Amino acid sequence: MNFTALVQAMSPDTYEKLAESVATGRWADGNIMSETQREQSLQLVMAYQAQVLKSQELFTIGADGQMIQKSKAELKKQFETQPSIARFSHDDL
């Protein structure tokens, strides 16, 4: 199985567990991850975010493995298309 197929076959539950393990440096059972395990797991997490979740964050990794950084104009356009948030004046609170 190649890397892309592995990422596409990964379940959301597996992704969540890997992401948590990378963040904490420990497997779910409490064992410490080796540096190699952590690096490879991080690669899987980032690939899943790029290929499956298609993350809309400011900084993300694209499906081609390159970092995507959105400009201020792109972010402004993105937020204009989303429903507006509630705004209050100081006296309303």
pLDDT tens digit sequence for 14-70? 988 998 898 889 999 999 999 999 999 988 888 888 788 776 555 555 555 566 666
Instruction: Please say whether the beta carbons of 45 and 22 come within 8 A.
Output: yes
pTM of the model: 0.58
From the number of C-beta atoms within 10 Å of its C-beta (0-12, 13-18, 19+), residue 47 rates as buried
Helix (H) or strand (E) holding 69: strand 67-69
pLDDT of residue 85: 60
> How far apart are alpha carbons 60 and 46 in whole angstroms?
8
Residue 81 pLDDT > 80 = no
pLDDT of residue 50: 78
pLDDT of residue 5: 87
